[in-house]
Amino acid sequence: MVGNKDRNVLLELVIQETACQLDVDNWNNLLTNCTRPRLALRKENDVNIKMTLHLYGGGRSRAVMPKWYMAEKQIDYHLINLDMRGRQHKQPDYLKINPFGKLPSLVDDSTGISLFESGAILLYLAEHYGRESANPKDRALIVQWIAFANATLSPAIFVQAVHERDFDGIMDVLNKFYEDKNYLVGESWTAADCAVCAYLAYVPIFAKGADLNRWPQVKRQTEETLNNAHYKAIMS
């Protein structure tokens, strides 16, 4: 067992290391069972590290995408989960951040910017923290795939009429694309892959009639996402 002083230190470290929004009822259990080696190596005065990124999310929101991206890129942030049933996302303090009262939103204290829309958040993170947009070509391609994920792929998965009309054709094109490469932009995982693969992971859940065996490359990407350690931790 740890004392109150040590408990407070560990609590701050856990928040910084995992970017978790901790439920008060779970604090004792989490701190008692926390065995991550990195925590054991941190000193008490290290808790002075201050988070500059604040992500506002909630159940059934697109906060999954920036959460996954920041986990993959090892970007520290503070997660604020809003209770949508309790309409916390419609309260005056939050409406100052996103006047539409939607989730997710991102606040960066280091630049003073507030952003809403998952695509805009991903692009900002890619440029300012992921260092992915090194040239105009890469930036344009990342923007293209993020826009495709939110405007084309998402409706084809979640909206029945669009699904019936467009889904098979979209899968045909994506499958052909993935025959030649593993990543959408360049030779490594980027915000573009985060956006597209995050939606593909919903196909087995929300498009249950779709047989991904028809599109083996898309199926491979989907399975890799579902088995990704960071993605699994976020979705759990």
For the chain, list the domains and their CATH numbers. Answer: 1-49 (no CATH), 50-131 (3.40.30.10), 136-235 (1.20.1050.10)
Using pLDDT thresholds of 50, 70 and 90, give the confidence band for residue 50: low
Q: Which residues contact 138 (CB under 8 A, 6 or more apart)?
A: 132, 185, 186, 190
What does pTM read for this prediction?
A: 0.76
Position 75 scores a pLDDT of: 96
What tens digit of pLDDT does each residue of 191-220 get? 999 999 999 999 999 987 889 999 999 999
What tens digit of pLDDT does each residue of 114-157 get? 999 999 999 999 999 998 877 899 999 999 999 999 999 999 99
What tens digit of pLDDT does each residue of 1-29 get? 434 433 333 333 333 333 333 333 332 33
Mean pLDDT computed over 148-176? 97
C-alpha 175/C-alpha 214 separation (Å) is 9
SS3 of the chain: the string is CCCHHHHHHHHHHHHHHHCCCCCHHHHHHHHHHCCCHHHHHCCHHHHHCCCCEEEEECCCCCCHHHHHHHHHCCCCCEEEECCCCCCHHHCHHHHCCCCCCCCCEEEECCCCEEEECHHHHHHHHHHHCCCCCCCHHHHHHHHHHHHHHHHHHHHHHHCHHHHHHHHHHHHHHHHHHHHHCCCCCCCCCCHHHHHHHHHHCCHHHHCCCCCHHHCHHHHHHHHHHHCCHHHHHHHC
Position 198 scores a pLDDT of: 96
